[in-house]
Structure 1
Amino acid sequence: MTPFSPSEAALEGFRITRENPRAFAWWVGISFLVSVLGAFVTVLMPAEVRHALDTLRAEDTPDLATLADALIAVSPLFVFGLAFQCMMAAAVYRVIFRHEDSRFGYLRLGSDELRLMALTLIFVVLTILLAVALTLGAAIVIALASFAGRGFAVSVGAIAELVSLAVLVYVLVRLSLAPPATFAERRLRIGESWTLTRGGVFWRLFGAYLLAVACMVVIGLLALVLFTAVAGIIVLLAGGQLTDLSTIFHPDETSLAAYLNPGMIAYMIVGSLFQTLYFAVIAAPGAVVYRHLHDDPDGLSLHISAP
Structure 2
Amino acid sequence: MTAFSATDAAFEGFRLTRERPKVVLIWAAFLFLVSVCSAVYLISIGQEARAVLEASAAQQSPDPQVFLSTMRDLLPMMVMGLLVQCVMAAAVYRILLRPDDKGFAYLKIGMDELRLAALTFIYVILACITMVVVVLIAALIAAAASFAGQGPAILVGAATEMFFLGMLFYVGVRLSLAPAMTFAQRRIAIFDSWRLTHGQFWRLTGAYVLAICGIVVIAVLVLTIFSALVAVAVGGDIQAVGKMFSPDQTSLASYFSPVMIAYLLVAGWVYAVYYAVVIAPAAVAYRALSQPAAAADAL
**TM-score normalised to structure 2 length:** 0.90
Name the CA shift for 1:212/1:244 in 2 (closer, same or farther; >3 Å).
Answer: same
Name the CA shift for 1:131/1:66 in 2 (closer, same or farther; >3 Å).
Answer: farther
Name the CA shift for 1:36/1:190 in 2 (closer, same or farther; >3 Å).
Answer: same
Post-superposition shift, 1:51? 6.1
Decide whether the 8 Å contact of 1:131 with 1:168 is kept in 2: no
In 2, the alpha carbon distance for the partners of 1:153 and 1:63 equals 33
Answering whether residue 162 of structure 2 is matched by residue 162 of structure 1, we say: yes
**Partner of residue 144, structure 1:** 144
In 2, the alpha carbon distance for the partners of 1:130 and 1:62 equals 26
**Partner of residue 203, structure 2:** 204
Unaligned runs of 5+ in 1: 300-307
Superposed CA offset, 1:195-240 (max 9, x none): 1111x2111111111111111222222222222222222222xxx6
**Partner of residue 14, structure 1:** 14
Decide whether the 8 Å contact of 1:52 with 1:73 is kept in 2: no
- 2:104 match: secondary structure: helix
**Partner of residue 228, structure 2:** 229
- 2:249 match: secondary structure: coil
Decide whether the 8 Å contact of 2:52 with 2:62 is kept in 1: no
| Within-5 A mapping of 1:79-158 | 79-158=79-158
**Partner of residue 256, structure 1:** 252
Name the CA shift for 1:297/1:162 in 2 (closer, same or farther; >3 Å).
Answer: closer
| Within-5 A mapping of 1:281-300 | 281-295=277-291
**Partner of residue 275, structure 1:** 271
**Partner of residue 28, structure 2:** 28
Instruction: Identify the structure with bigger relative contact order (alpha carbons < 8 Å, sequence gap 6+).
Output: 2
- 2:4 match: secondary structure: coil
Unaligned runs of 5+ in 2: none
Q: Which runs of 4+ in 1 moved over 3 A?
A: 46-58, 60-71, 296-299
Name the CA shift for 1:109/1:284 in 2 (closer, same or farther; >3 Å).
Answer: same
Decide whether the 8 Å contact of 1:253 with 1:259 is kept in 2: yes
Post-superposition shift, 1:181? 0.5
Post-superposition shift, 1:99? 0.5
Superposed CA offset, 1:42-75 (max 9, x none): 2222567546645754625578766654433321
Decide whether the 8 Å contact of 1:52 with 1:71 is kept in 2: no
Decide whether the 8 Å contact of 2:174 with 2:194 is kept in 1: yes
RMSD (Å) for aligned C-alpha atoms: 2.3
Name the CA shift for 1:23/1:234 in 2 (closer, same or farther; >3 Å).
Answer: same
Decide whether the 8 Å contact of 2:87 with 2:107 is kept in 1: yes
Superposed CA offset, 1:145-172 (max 9, x none): 2222222222222222221211111111
In 1, the alpha carbon distance for the partners of 2:132 and 2:84 equals 28
In 1, the alpha carbon distance for the partners of 2:63 and 2:119 equals 28
For 1:215, give the aligned amino acid.
G
- 1:25 match: secondary structure: helix
**TM-score normalised to structure 1 length:** 0.88
In 1, the alpha carbon distance for the partners of 2:135 and 2:86 equals 29
In 2, the alpha carbon distance for the partners of 1:104 and 1:5 equals 30
For 1:11, give the aligned amino acid.
F
In 2, the alpha carbon distance for the partners of 1:72 and 1:282 equals 30
- 1:248 match: secondary structure: coil
- 1:104 match: secondary structure: coil
For 1:230, give the aligned amino acid.
L
Post-superposition shift, 1:293? 0.9
Name the CA shift for 1:296/1:38 in 2 (closer, same or farther; >3 Å).
Answer: farther
Decide whether the 8 Å contact of 2:45 with 2:73 is kept in 1: no
Name the CA shift for 1:247/1:64 in 2 (closer, same or farther; >3 Å).
Answer: closer
